[in-house]
């Protein structure tokens, strides 16, 4: 059974009315038809705190990683892609912005058990920042009211490994990209370079705050929270403990 709680906008049977001003919009999906009712936050306009959004993402990853068992391998949500497209057809209100690697094994919407319209996903090899990434984040925060940014590296990262390898100089743009990643790794690290992957996340967060006045000011004022994370491609779990990274 699906229940939609909407304040400010009413979405019924494909009829969509746009919201004006800063009306608060919340959409909750209640999957009470399954054992152990669970609630998935799909999108929310200026409604949730950063802590609430972070808790939602952590719970989503827990659902995702728990399902990775022989007895439970399918996502059985009745909130289909059709429904998600219908509810985001005219507008979007993502709850978080995720900066992560382009690695094919690290799709944010899947590993956080979210759907269409839930997340801003910014992806680049090595999950590093540059002016375009910062501009995308500023849009998410300043224009769409996102209160949480997650910088997520991952284990067995090809970009991190490449920073310790010799590259073909003919691939000039790749050499340039890996050169930027190389600035954020630990020179004495050893395979699988987990310490460098963690350090890269920390440095990226520092660079975001140093190079974007908009994000720095909003972070200082408590309007946006920026957290680091490391995804494990071997088991689907996320390490949120960034102490000593």
Q: In whole angstroms, what is the distance from residue 197 CA to residue 51 CA?
A: 24
Q: In this predicted model, what pLDDT tens digit does every residue of 79-135 receive, in sequence order?
A: 678 888 889 999 999 999 999 999 999 999 999 999 899 999 999 999 999 999 999
Total-model pTM: 0.77
Q: Which residues contact 104 (CB under 8 A, 6 or more apart)?
A: none
- Segment 173-202 mean pLDDT: 97
Give the pLDDT confidence score for residue 24 in this predicted structure: 40
User: Are 230 and 197 in contact, with CB atoms under 8 Å apart?
Assistant: yes
At 66, the pLDDT band (50, 70, 90 cuts) reads confident
Q: Which residue has the higher pLDDT, 58 or 84?
A: 58
Would you list the DSSP string of 49-94?
-HHHHHHHHHHHHHHHHHT-BTTB-S---SS-HHHHHHHTSS----
Q: Is 10 a residue whose pLDDT tops 50?
A: no
Q: What is the mean pLDDT of residues 6-20?
A: 37
Give residue 240's pLDDT: 97
Average pLDDT, the chain: 83
Task: Tell me the C-alpha to C-alpha distance, in Å, between residue 217 and each of 142, 150, 221, 225.
Answer: 11, 17, 6, 11
Q: Kind of pairing, strands 96-100 and 225-231?
A: unpaired
Length in residues, the chain: 245
* CB half-sphere exposure, 116, CA atoms < 13 A: 13
């Amino acid at each position: 059974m699906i229940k939609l709680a909407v304040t400010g906008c009413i979405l019924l049977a494909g009829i969509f009315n746009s919201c004006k001003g800063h009306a608060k919009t919340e959409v909750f999906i209640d999957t009470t038809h399954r054992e152990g009712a669970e609630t998935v936050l799909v999108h929310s306009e200026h409604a949730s705190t950063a802590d609430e959004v972070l808790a939602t993402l952590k719970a989503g990853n827990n659902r995702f990683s728990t399902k990775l068992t022989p007895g439970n391998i399918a996502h059985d949500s009745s909130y289909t892609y059709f429904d998600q497209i219908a509810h985001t057809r005219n507008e979007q209100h993502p709850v978080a912005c995720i900066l992560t690697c382009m690695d094919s094994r690290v799709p944010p919407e899947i590993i956080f058990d979210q759907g269409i319209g839930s997340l801003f996903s910014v992806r680049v090899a090595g999950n590093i920042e540059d002016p375009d990434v910062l501009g995308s984040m500023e849009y998410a925060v300043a224009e769409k009211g996102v209160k949480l940014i997650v910088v997520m590296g991952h284990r067995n990262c090809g970009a991190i490994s490449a920073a310790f390898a010799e590259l073909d100089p003919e691939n000039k743009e790749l050499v340039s990209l890996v050169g930027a990643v190389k600035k954020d790794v630990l020179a004495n690290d050893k395979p699988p370079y987990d310490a460098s992957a963690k350090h890269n996340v920390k440095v990226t967060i520092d660079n975001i705050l140093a190079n974007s006045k908009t994000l720095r000011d909003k972070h200082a004022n408590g309007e946006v929270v920026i957290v680091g994370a490391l995804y494990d491609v071997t088991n689907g779990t996320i390490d949120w403990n960034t102490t000593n990274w």
